[in-house]
């Protein structure tokens, strides 16, 4: 797969279709993959990686890259194409300046789950028939592939590419996913239980801003949390409840625009299940205004910024504070 992608990218660079390629390259460790921009065949040959750890959604990089001169090639998994569509819809990227190659999606691996098995000193991870052969400095270890899948892949919503210029491999379908199970569980809690759950989770937040920085819906020219005039900048430090407000403000900010790519939870160093906040919004929107998935297309009207005569009044449908 990696070979095919590199060869196709080299071709497109060579014939002048694109001038840059967005993909992934290795970091310090084998499993330590980061998004990268490649400008030559040599760079692609030496650094380009595509394996079980290339889970990062690279669509957000297109905000900057598509504004530059020359077309940019991007490899997008199905989930990433939703993000690109949403960015296109919001005029945040120049779609005409992007060449999308759709590539197969995950499931991708979560290195934390491998480490949690007590495996350390990892040098490389190979998938042989859904058994992971893990080479470490202490020798080889094995574990089932299924036990190391990223949470966001375990509740995958779609294997379908919603936008692409060409595909490598077959296109899949929208899946009947179990992604709202945990949201339902939270909904069934009492208000106090739910409050305790979120207090416990959110109090772990160290305000590193990783969730915001990775989020493809967070592309404002000037983020409120960086704007001294906004009145909410740096409030995180002022009292213990403020980190909750940070996440609640962010969840409202991306409500109706979140494509549920799951990156916020994947990058959180404190393992806060931030995607649950977004999924609650998606679920509510589905229930109140009919099924809607942000990023599914670039033309439909988003329910939260649209009015129809049969819109329900959410506050009337759900009586507040009633358990």
Partner 1 sequence: MQRIGVFVCHCGTNIAATVDVKAVAEALGHEPGVVVSQDYQYMCSESGQNLVKNAIKEHNLTGVVICSCSPRMHENTFRKAAAAAGLNPYLVEIANIREQCSWIHKDIATATEKAVILGRAAVAKVHLNAPLIAGESPVAKRALVIGGGIAGIQTALDIAEAGFDVDIVEKNPTIGGKMAQIDKTFPTLDCAACILTPKMVEASQNEKIHIHSFSEVTDVKGFVGNFTVTIKKKARFVDETKCTGCGLCTEKCPMKKVPNEFNMGLDNRTAIYIPFAQAVPKVATIDPNYCMMLKNGKCGVCSKVCSVGAIDYKQEDRFIEEKYGAIVVATGFNPIKLDKYDEFAYNQSPDVVTSLELERLMNAAGPNGGTLLRPSDKTHPHKIVFVQCVGSRCDDSKGKPYCSKICCMYTAKHAMLIREKYPDTEVYVFYIDVRTPGKNFDEFYRRAVEQYNVHYIKGMVGKVTPQSNGKLHVQASDLLANEQLHIDADMVVLAAAIEPDKTARPLATMLTTQMDTNDFFTEAHPKLRPVESATAGIFLSGACQGPKDIPETVAQASAAAAKAIGLLCKNSITCNPCVAHSDELMCNGCSSCEKVCPYGAITYIDKEFRMPDRTTKVRRVASVNPAVCQGCGACTVACPSGAMDLNGFSNSQIMAEVDAICK
- Chain residues in the site for partner 1 (CB under 8 A): 67, 90-92, 219-222, 224, 227, 229-231, 253, 257, 301, 305-307, 309
| Residue 216 · residue 87 · CB < 8 Å | yes
| Residue 23 · residue 1 · CB < 8 Å | no
Spatial strand order of the sheet with 33-38 comes to 33-38, 20-26, 72-76, 98-102, 166-167
Cβ proximity to partner 1: between 96 and 128 the closer is 96
Cβ proximity to partner 1: between 143 and 314 the closer is 314
State the nearest-atom distance from the C-beta of 64 to partner 1, in Å.
Answer: 11
Cβ proximity to partner 1: between 4 and 227 the closer is 227
State the nearest-atom distance from the C-beta of 235 to partner 1, in Å.
Answer: 12
Cβ proximity to partner 1: between 174 and 220 the closer is 220
State the nearest-atom distance from the C-beta of 308 to partner 1, in Å.
Answer: 10
State the nearest-atom distance from the C-beta of 249 to partner 1, in Å.
Answer: 11
> In angstroms, how far is the first alpha carbon of the chain from the final one?
52
Q: What per-residue string of b and e applies to 117-154 under the rule 16 or more CB within 10 Å gives b? A: eebeebeebeeeeeebebeeeeeebebebeebbbbbbe
Cβ proximity to partner 1: between 90 and 135 the closer is 90
Cβ proximity to partner 1: between 98 and 122 the closer is 98
319 CB burial (10 A radius; 0-12, 13-18, 19+): exposed
Assigned token pair, 167: 């595909």
Q: What per-residue string of b and e applies to 238-252 under the rule 16 or more CB within 10 Å gives b? A: eeeeebbebbeebbe
State the nearest-atom distance from the C-beta of 299 to partner 1, in Å.
Answer: 12
Please choose, from the candidates 241, 271, 259, 246, the residue with its C-alpha nearest in 3D space to the C-alpha of residue 296: 259
State the nearest-atom distance from the C-beta of 311 to partner 1, in Å.
Answer: 10
């Amino acid at each position: 797969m990696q070979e095919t992608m590199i060869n196709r990218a080299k071709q497109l660079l060579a014939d002048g279709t694109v001038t840059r390629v967005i993909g992934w390259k290795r970091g310090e460790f084998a499993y330590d993959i980061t998004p990268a921009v490649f400008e030559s065949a040599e760079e692609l040959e030496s650094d380009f990686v595509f394996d079980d750890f290339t889970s990062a959604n690279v669509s957000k990089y297109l905000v900057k890259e598509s504004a530059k001169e020359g077309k940019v090639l991007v490899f997008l998994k199905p989930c990433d194409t939703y993000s690109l569509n949403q960015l296109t819809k919001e005029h945040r990227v120049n779609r005409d300046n992007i060449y999308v190659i759709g590539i197969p999606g995950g499931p991708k691996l979560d290195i934390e789950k491998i480490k949690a098995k007590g495996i350390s000193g990892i040098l490389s991870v190979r998938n042989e028939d859904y058994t992971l052969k893990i080479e470490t400095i202490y020798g080889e270890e094995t574990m089932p592939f299924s036990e190391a899948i990223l949470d966001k892949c375990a509740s995958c919503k779609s294997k379908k590419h919603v936008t692409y210029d060409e595909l490598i491999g077959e296109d899949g379908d929208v899946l009947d996913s179990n992604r709202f199970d945990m949201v339902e569980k939270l909904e069934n809690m009492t208000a106090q239980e739910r409050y305790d759950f979120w207090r416990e989770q959110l109090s772990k937040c160290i305000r590193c801003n990783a969730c915001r920085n990775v989020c493809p819906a967070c592309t404002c020219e000037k983020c409120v949390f960086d704007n001294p005039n906004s009145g909410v900048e740096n409030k995180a430090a002022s009292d213990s409840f403020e980190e909750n407000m940070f996440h609640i403000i962010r969840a409202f900010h991306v409500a109706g625009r979140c494509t549920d790519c799951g990156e916020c939870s994947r990058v959180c160093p404190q393992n806060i299940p931030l995607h649950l906040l977004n999924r609650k919004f998606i679920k509510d929107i589905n229930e109140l205004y009919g099924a809607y998935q942000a990023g599914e297309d670039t033309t439909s009207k988003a329910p939260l910024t649209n009015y129809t005569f049969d819109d329900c009044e959410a506050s009337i449908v759900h009586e507040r504070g009633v358990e």
